[in-house]
Chains A and B, each alone.
Chain A
Amino acid sequence: MATFRNLTALFRYRGLIQTLVVRDLKARYRGSVLGFFWSFFNPLLLLLIYSFVFTQVLVGAHDEAMEPYALFMFCGILPWTWFSSSVLESANTLIAGGNLIKKVLFPAEVLPIVTVLANMTHFFFGLPVLVGFLIYYQRPVDPVELLWFPVIVLVQLIFTTGLALLLSALTVHFRDLKDLLGNVMQLWFFATPIIYPMLQAPPSLRQWLNFNPMTHLMISYQEVLFFPGPHGHWKWLTALAVGSVAMFLGGYFVFDRLRDSFAEEV
């Protein structure tokens, strides 16, 4: 199938993808005083804001098990930021890269993939902050459980890339997706157990939350990094892994079908 031939060609572009990710990272903080340190400061500031709101303003809004609440939240917000920035930016990436698609022989799928990978790099840069907080709060992490961490990241990567491919291709034809997405992501954030634990969600809503793929990613992160005890969510994670591969293939298929229209529509 032509789609899969193109998919294997993707592997050949790894040099290009790598270069573009580096360019993206370099360009983002070029001219700013702190440069790469923003990759640390951004999550740190976010963390401070949320912990101020939930420990000083909304006192007692969460239970004992959630303490230290700032750390709990941070386990979810960090990967969520990766996800949501990837989705929001990928919607615009083909249009922004229109020059490349129209004027250079350029594999368009590289653009959303670069967006996701660049944001993943930011996510990695934020991890030392997380580690710092784990040490500060003296929360030991089970090294065996930590083996799950790369698996969760991989599942999220596949899922996000699939969605990014789908959205970037559709946005070329439906420009208003870009605006719509901002609101959708806001809603999605609150529909995912990030600032609240799954257990605190009303039981009637809980089954609905299960339909949200991000729920299982976030719970997995929380189980591995925050909650003591074994990673009990792996069944859901495995199911999600299968779903993510399907999402990726589906996203790539749509992208490939619309590919020829990009040069004319962008």
Chain B
Amino acid sequence: MTPAIDVVNVSKVYRRYAQKKQFATLKSAIVSGTLLGDLRPDETFQALRGVSLTVPKGCTFGVIGRNGSGKSTLLKCVAGITRPTEGHVTVDGRISALIELGAGFHPEISGRENIFINGIMLGLTKKEIQHRFGEIVEFAEMQDFIDAPVKTYSSGMYMRLGFAVAVHVDPEVLLVDEVLAVGDQGFTHKCLDKFAEFRRRNKSILLVTHSLDLVEKFCDTAHWLDHGVTKGEGDPKRVVAAYVIDVEDSEENELAKAEAARLAVAAKEVAEAREENIGANCSSPETPPETGGGPEAEQPEGPKDGFKSEEGRWGTREVEITHVTIAGPDGEAGHVFQSGDAIEVRMNVTAKEKITDFVFGFGLFNADNVCVYGTNTNLEEFQPTEIEGTGTVTFTIDHLDLVEGTYRLDLAAHKADGYPYDYHRLLYTFRVKSRIRDVGIYRPDHSWSFQGGIKISDQK
């Protein structure tokens, strides 16, 4: 059996024209005799490199990948909207592309007329449209507005109508580019039902999406593109898992980079501030005393003034936090952890002279700057004796029971009265990942159990 879609070794090079070419005039082109020369690019961007994929008839095929990985370009090549630079694409049967919904709608004329025009653009005859008209209108839930001009439609109505027309073209091959987010829950379900119906009727779907759940639940095969290159293909669960790990890795890298940059800036500011302080005879720390206190002082009510919610570093550096790592369960430093992991926050500290009054503090904030937890060695009744030279403070969390999100850390060394030695405000960012889409901040360790007449099964 011939496959529905056969993409063989497709590469696509987009041509970019230099700035001056964009404003080239016909006159200048004629004068310099480069009318056709100007149509040649002088810079190229390769969106796809040797991508091959085969979608058998009746198969639902999901394409995943990060932004800019070439997913949409691939879809456009399959749809025949753009021609691949190399390789070739064969499609068996009528295509309907849900790339942009309602692309052909004319705002001034009614929904009814637009259905006809759009249908004809998508390759139906007038008769076929007449036949399906009622079904289309009903599917789009537009009975009341079908005779109003399309310009009066809300964007949701517009998309729904576009979607309804496109799926009723009754294609052999349906190309879908991230368009399921066009309606309320009910409509989304209807769309999914429609897709399921396509599958039953042995039609093929090529789906480009960022919704990994959808790919896992819905697709027979997943194809992962990265920078225009195929990174994997096969069982959706496996490919999605590989993709998720890759995304975490790159998030990890980005957080690490951002943190390094932030620390460098903070260190520079502190160095400058310290020089000024030396000029001022080292009389006072640069922190206004009223902001003093460990993390505990700023817990429940959140930031009291603008200064407090900003990240930064201040303190006299009599005790200095020289290095901080957040380590995951494997002991390796990282920035992305799974919910429930054991993590360790390690601070390397240095005191040039012997100091007897010191407290180490820890504060954990979520992305909204809500303090999730704050504590310090003073609150937990550790009695400092002395610190001199270097040392390491390790704060261990056995179960990181947080919901998915980005969190930031305050780490500090200060006196018991709040006089700051080295205060690192929101300088350390990490991300918590979870497969469960629960909400809130804290995830208590929990379980469900059911007795009596409840039938419920665990899908995990």
> Given that A15-B126, A105-B80, A264-B15 are known contacts, is A170 also in contact with B120, CB under 8 Å in the complex?
no
Q: Name A104's closest neighbour in chain B (CB-CB).
A: B103
| Chain A residues positioned under 8 Å from B106 (CB to CB) | 23, 27
Assembled-state Cα–Cα distance A245/B113 (Å): 35
Is A191 an interface residue when CB atoms closer than 8 A count as contact? no
Is A100 an interface residue when CB atoms closer than 8 A count as contact? yes
Tell which of A30, A104, A106, A180 has the most Cβ of chain B within 10 Å: A104
CB distance from A96 to the nearest CB of B (A): 11
A30 touches B99 (CB 8 A): no
| Chain A residues positioned under 8 Å from B149 (CB to CB) | 30
Binds B, one of A3-11, A171-179, A227-235: A171-179
Binds B, one of A80-88, A115-123, A149-157, A255-263: A255-263
Tell which of B38, B121, B126 has the most Cβ of chain A within 10 Å: B121
CB distance from B31 to the nearest CB of A (A): 13
A100 touches B103 (CB 8 A): yes
Is A206 an interface residue when CB atoms closer than 8 A count as contact? no
Tell which of A30, A31, A105 has the most Cβ of chain B within 10 Å: A105
| Chain B residues positioned under 8 Å from A15 (CB to CB) | 120, 125-126
Is A185 an interface residue when CB atoms closer than 8 A count as contact? no
A174 touches B100 (CB 8 A): no
Q: Name A24's closest neighbour in chain B (CB-CB).
A: B106
Assembled-state Cα–Cα distance A184/B324 (Å): 71
B125 touches A104 (CB 8 A): no
Interface size on A, residues (CB 8 A): 28
CB distance from A156 to the nearest CB of B (A): 25
CB distance from A134 to the nearest CB of B (A): 35
A174 touches B24 (CB 8 A): yes
A-facing mask of B116-136, CB < 8 A → 1, else 0?
Answer: 110011100110000000000
A20 touches B117 (CB 8 A): yes
Interface size on B, residues (CB 8 A): 32
When the two chains form the complex, which single residue of A30, A99, A174, A258 contacts B104, counting CB atoms closer than 8 Å?
A: A99
| Chain A residues positioned under 8 Å from B116 (CB to CB) | 19
B120 touches A104 (CB 8 A): no
Tell which of B79, B117, B125 has the most Cβ of chain A within 10 Å: B117
B-facing mask of A197-228, CB < 8 A → 1, else 0?
Answer: 00000000000000000000000000000000
Is A16 an interface residue when CB atoms closer than 8 A count as contact? yes
| Chain B residues positioned under 8 Å from A258 (CB to CB) | 39
| Chain A residues positioned under 8 Å from B109 (CB to CB) | 23, 26-27, 30
A261 touches B39 (CB 8 A): yes
Assembled-state Cα–Cα distance A159/B79 (Å): 33
| Chain B residues positioned under 8 Å from A260 (CB to CB) | 82-83
Assembled-state Cα–Cα distance A173/B104 (Å): 23
A-facing mask of B57-83, CB < 8 A → 1, else 0?
Answer: 000000000000000000010011111
| Chain B residues positioned under 8 Å from A23 (CB to CB) | 106, 109, 113, 117
| Chain A residues positioned under 8 Å from B193 (CB to CB) | none
Q: Name A20's closest neighbour in chain B (CB-CB).
A: B117
Assembled-state Cα–Cα distance A30/B107 (Å): 10
Assembled-state Cα–Cα distance A100/B100 (Å): 9
Q: Name A107's closest neighbour in chain B (CB-CB).
A: B121
Known A174-B29, A180-B26; 17 more pairs at CB < 8 Å = A15-B125, A15-B126, A26-B108, A26-B109, A27-B108, A99-B100, A99-B104, A100-B103, A102-B100, A103-B97, A103-B103, A104-B99, A104-B121, A105-B95, A106-B121, A176-B26, A263-B81
Query: What are 6 A-B pairs at a CB distance below 8 A?
Result: A27-B106, A31-B108, A104-B97, A105-B81, A174-B24, A177-B26
